[in-house]
Structure 1
Amino acid sequence: MTVSQTVELEGHIIDSGTMGACFAIVMDMGGEFDVDAFEVGRHKHEETYCRMRVLADSEADLRAILHELNQQGATVADPRDAVLEPAPADQVVPVDFYSTTNHPTFVRVDGEWLAVENAEMDCALVVDRADDDGTPRVHTTVLNAIEAGDLVVTGETGIRVEPPERPREADGSFGFMQGGVSSERPSTSLIEEIADEMRSVRDDDGSVLAVCGPAIVHAGGRNALADLVRAGYVDSLSAGNGFAVHDLERDLYGTSLGVDTESLEHPRSGHKHHIYTISEIVRLGGIPAAVAEGVVEEGVMYECVDNDVSYVLAGSIRDDGPLPDTITDAVEAQDAIREQAREADLVLMLSTLLHAVAVGNCLPSTTKTVCVDINPATVTQLLDRGSAQAVGMVTDIGTFLPMLRDELLEHPN
């Protein structure tokens, strides 16, 4: 028995490769398709429309194909309302729940298409009818926040995904990525465009989130980042316990993990600096107290405290100490990172794979993102995760941050 369903695609689907991807999905999954209508946009601002009938051998096969097409932005023609099922227990979702992408998504409820709040990948969609004005709202919900009785969207019906597209006119470096990651990309011109975007975000009262790894301190980028925080170009910071300890050790002893960051020599007893730094911050009661006491007088964490820049230090099983400021509960840390990510208009991911992935998993695909790392695999992994508005640079963070600082502070307008 053959079953079928008609789907529609609309937008810059040729330029973005969406149409070809959808054709390939149907064939790769054992289905067939017939194109019923195909209207090509003939000018650079015109969109293309395609309607096709998808055929499969069984309802299960058809549902699987439709799910994959949905992720690409295809919608079922003549849609019905989304199917809602109550969560059977806390932290438990219905078997056929819809698992989200990080793209802008809309859900049809009571005949109306509602925008999903807080787009994020790998979440459930919950419909809340409890607003005072009676208007339903749809929001992403992580598994640990699901409560028994929550109305969870299931299946593929009544769901529309709108992946960012590649228009015929690119939007500078932050347009849809035109190619792969390479260390040969023009760093100076990219840094100028990143600086322009940071100025624009600041002028619009937006938020720049810096995601920081310890290599910033090791490689000599610490002072430049501190200057950017002081100048108001960084509004929040996300890092691990290690970054903060290395930054504080650099202030107290001039070392990072016991190595002099200027001479690269190992001073006598330098191996003790890392642990003793943690001990001193614990003794004082945390980083803000250490700043208030005058024990910490410079560096990134100092500037965050002195300039009221919020920070989240998320702990891990590898941490020494940790610092009193470090969140050691993984779920609590995720929630804190998620709040930062939702507020960010621009994210700088600076030489850290683990924290960049953690923050990246919370970002919608439309948030402009810069990923800088000396390891090409780090940059590639972050760009492949789904951010369409992304810039990747394979370079030394100790070179990148001073260049960015100079561009912003020496050419403020």
Structure 2
Amino acid sequence: MTRSRTVELEGHIIDSGTMQRCFGAVMDLGGSFDVEQFDVGKHETEESYCRLTVSADDAETLRAILHELHQNGAVLEDPSAVDLVAAPADKVVPPDFYSTTNHPTEVLYDGEWIDVERIEMDCALVVDPDGSEDGSARAYTKTLNAVEEGDLVATDESGIRVNPPERPRSGGGAFGFMQGGVSAERPSESTIREVAAELRAVKEDGGNVMVVAGPAVIHSGAGDALADLVAAGYVDALSAGNGFATHDLERSIYGTSLGMNVETLEHPRKGHKHHIWTISEIIRAGGIEAAVEDGIVSEGVMYECVRNDVDTVLAGSIRDDGPLPDTITDAVEAQDAIRGQAHEADLVIMLATLLHSVAVGNCLPSTTKTVCVDINPATVTQLLDRGSAQAIGMVTDIGTFVPTLAEFVLEGDE
């Protein structure tokens, strides 16, 4: 028996590719569609509207099709209010709970569409009927381990509207509509200059810049350039691991990174012990900030982060030596700390770290401008595959990218 539902699409659905994706999803999943109304926007700022009936041979196929259409911004005709079910216990969500995308989202509650706060992918959607300061309803995301008994959790997709990014009405440069992609053939210098211009613009507008950095930034000799950006006030938050901080601190104390002098490429005698000696010195001092205050650490990225009060999160790993006393070894606690940084960011620059890039990317809404740089194309590919389609992917040497970026950013301050 054929099952059918009518859905609506509205916005810049033609030039943003929404219609193409929706029609393709219906056909790929074995359904069919009948366009009942199609009003085309007649100039670049006028929105289009499409109403179509989607059909499938069985309810399960129709449900799968509607799910895909929902992810692309389609809404059921005459949508019902969001379906809310109380969580039966802490960390337990109802069956068929709604799993969020990273796109801006709204819920229909008490006759009004409410914006969902702190949007990120793979979370539960919770509605608090009187959670706002004025006593009105509030909707927001919660990770599964943060769900509490009694939380009103959205189920299915009724009363939920997703708003994927649309092609902007003006040019967006390197950060234009869905520029995500991986290529070693991008004109690197011009792209870096555009990233530098965006970085300056974000700061001039009072925005927040987050840097996600891996140890290769230090090993490649790019640490000085990143430290210069921090010192000049262009970095508000740093997310990294124990290794990045250890090798940056090692360079300040011993002049090496993982036992190697990054300028001469020489390996001093007993240099392989420098990283663990560094950790010992920082523990003895009582932490990174104390080591800076005591003069044990006198330069580098971590030094500048302390001196400039940059919000820093060091997330631990099972591989960590030591670790540094500043490293958060509880994985859930580290996730929450990174999530707090990500929700404040207007621009995120990811530098040579696969695991941290994907972790931060999972916390970002699709509207956050993101650039991911790595010599390994797999890093950028995995980030995009996980849903961060807004990211600019640059396959290039981090030791060249960061100094060039710093040069372009700081030349405007001269």
TM-score range, shorter chain: over 0.9
Is the Cα contact below 8 Å between 1:241 and 1:322 reproduced in 2?
yes
Q: Which residue of 2 aligns with 1:160?
A: 161
1:168 deviates by 6.2
Is the Cα contact below 8 Å between 2:180 and 2:384 reproduced in 1?
no
Check 1:320–1:288 CA distance in 2 against 1; reply closer, same or farther (3 A cut): same
Q: Which residue of 2 aligns with 1:290?
A: 291
Is the Cα contact below 8 Å between 1:164 and 1:388 reproduced in 2?
no
Q: Which residue of 2 aligns with 1:74?
A: 74
Unaligned runs of 5+ in 2: none
Once residues 168 and 386 of structure 1 are traced to their aligned partners in structure 2, the CA distance between those partners, rounded to angstroms, is 24
Residue 93 of structure 1 pairs with residue 113 of structure 2: no
Q: Which residue of 2 aligns with 1:341?
A: 342
Provide the TM-score with structure 1 as the length reference: 0.97
Once residues 360 and 181 of structure 2 are traced to their aligned partners in structure 1, the CA distance between those partners, rounded to angstroms, is 22
Once residues 305 and 78 of structure 2 are traced to their aligned partners in structure 1, the CA distance between those partners, rounded to angstroms, is 52
Is the Cα contact below 8 Å between 2:347 and 2:370 reproduced in 1?
yes
Larger CA deviation: 181-190 vs 326-335: 181-190
Which amino acid is the alignment partner of residue 50 of structure 2? C
Once residues 36 and 23 of structure 2 are traced to their aligned partners in structure 1, the CA distance between those partners, rounded to angstroms, is 13
Is the Cα contact below 8 Å between 2:87 and 2:151 reproduced in 1?
yes
Which amino acid is the alignment partner of residue 226 of structure 2? L
Once residues 168 and 363 of structure 2 are traced to their aligned partners in structure 1, the CA distance between those partners, rounded to angstroms, is 25
1:13 deviates by 1.8
Which amino acid is the alignment partner of residue 64 of structure 2? A
Is the Cα contact below 8 Å between 1:367 and 1:387 reproduced in 2?
no
1:306-345 superposed matches below 5 A? 306-345=307-346
Once residues 20 and 406 of structure 1 are traced to their aligned partners in structure 2, the CA distance between those partners, rounded to angstroms, is 42
Is the Cα contact below 8 Å between 1:175 and 1:388 reproduced in 2?
no
Which amino acid is the alignment partner of residue 17 of structure 2? G
Task: Compute the RMSD of aligned alpha carbons.
Answer: 1.4
Once residues 373 and 7 of structure 2 are traced to their aligned partners in structure 1, the CA distance between those partners, rounded to angstroms, is 39
Is the Cα contact below 8 Å between 1:252 and 1:296 reproduced in 2?
yes
1:169 deviates by 4.4
Q: Which residue of 1 aligns with 2:37?
A: 37
SS in 1 for 2:54: strand
1:287-306 per-position Cα deviation (integer Å, ceiling 9, x unaligned): 00100110000000000001
Which amino acid is the alignment partner of residue 233 of structure 1? Y
Which amino acid is the alignment partner of residue 280 of structure 2? S
Q: Which residue of 1 aligns with 2:282?
A: 281
Larger CA deviation: 99-108 vs 63-72: 63-72
Q: Which residue of 1 aligns with 2:192?
A: 191
Q: Which residue of 2 aligns with 1:244?
A: 245
SS in 2 for 1:149: coil
Larger CA deviation: 50-59 vs 85-94: 50-59
1:178 deviates by 4.5
Is the Cα contact below 8 Å between 1:366 and 1:388 reproduced in 2?
no
Q: Which residue of 2 aligns with 1:390?
A: 391
Residue 299 of structure 1 pairs with residue 313 of structure 2: no
1:192 deviates by 1.6
Residue 372 of structure 1 pairs with residue 405 of structure 2: no
Is the Cα contact below 8 Å between 2:181 and 2:384 reproduced in 1?
no
Once residues 20 and 197 of structure 1 are traced to their aligned partners in structure 2, the CA distance between those partners, rounded to angstroms, is 31
Q: Which residue of 1 aligns with 2:12?
A: 12
Q: Percent identity?
A: 71
Once residues 155 and 251 of structure 1 are traced to their aligned partners in structure 2, the CA distance between those partners, rounded to angstroms, is 54
Check 1:130–1:11 CA distance in 2 against 1; reply closer, same or farther (3 A cut): closer
Is the Cα contact below 8 Å between 1:176 and 1:388 reproduced in 2?
no
Is the Cα contact below 8 Å between 2:237 and 2:310 reproduced in 1?
yes
SS in 2 for 1:382: helix
Once residues 317 and 96 of structure 1 are traced to their aligned partners in structure 2, the CA distance between those partners, rounded to angstroms, is 34
Which amino acid is the alignment partner of residue 10 of structure 1? E
1:179 deviates by 6.8
Residue 207 of structure 1 pairs with residue 215 of structure 2: no
Q: Which residue of 2 aligns with 1:46?
A: 46
SS in 1 for 2:182: coil
Is the Cα contact below 8 Å between 2:127 and 2:139 reproduced in 1?
yes
Unaligned runs of 5+ in 1: none
Provide the TM-score with structure 2 as the length reference: 0.97
Which amino acid is the alignment partner of residue 88 of structure 2? P
Once residues 235 and 194 of structure 1 are traced to their aligned partners in structure 2, the CA distance between those partners, rounded to angstroms, is 16
Is the Cα contact below 8 Å between 2:35 and 2:53 reproduced in 1?
yes
Query: Paired residues, what number?
Result: 413
Check 1:193–1:263 CA distance in 2 against 1; reply closer, same or farther (3 A cut): same
Is the Cα contact below 8 Å between 2:6 and 2:52 reproduced in 1?
yes
Once residues 328 and 237 of structure 2 are traced to their aligned partners in structure 1, the CA distance between those partners, rounded to angstroms, is 16
1:411 deviates by 2.1
Is the Cα contact below 8 Å between 2:279 and 2:323 reproduced in 1?
yes
1:64 deviates by 2.1
Once residues 330 and 157 of structure 2 are traced to their aligned partners in structure 1, the CA distance between those partners, rounded to angstroms, is 35
1:63 deviates by 2.1
Once residues 169 and 205 of structure 1 are traced to their aligned partners in structure 2, the CA distance between those partners, rounded to angstroms, is 22
Is the Cα contact below 8 Å between 1:175 and 1:390 reproduced in 2?
no
Once residues 192 and 358 of structure 2 are traced to their aligned partners in structure 1, the CA distance between those partners, rounded to angstroms, is 22
1:342-382 per-position Cα deviation (integer Å, ceiling 9, x unaligned): 01110010111100111100000000011111111112222
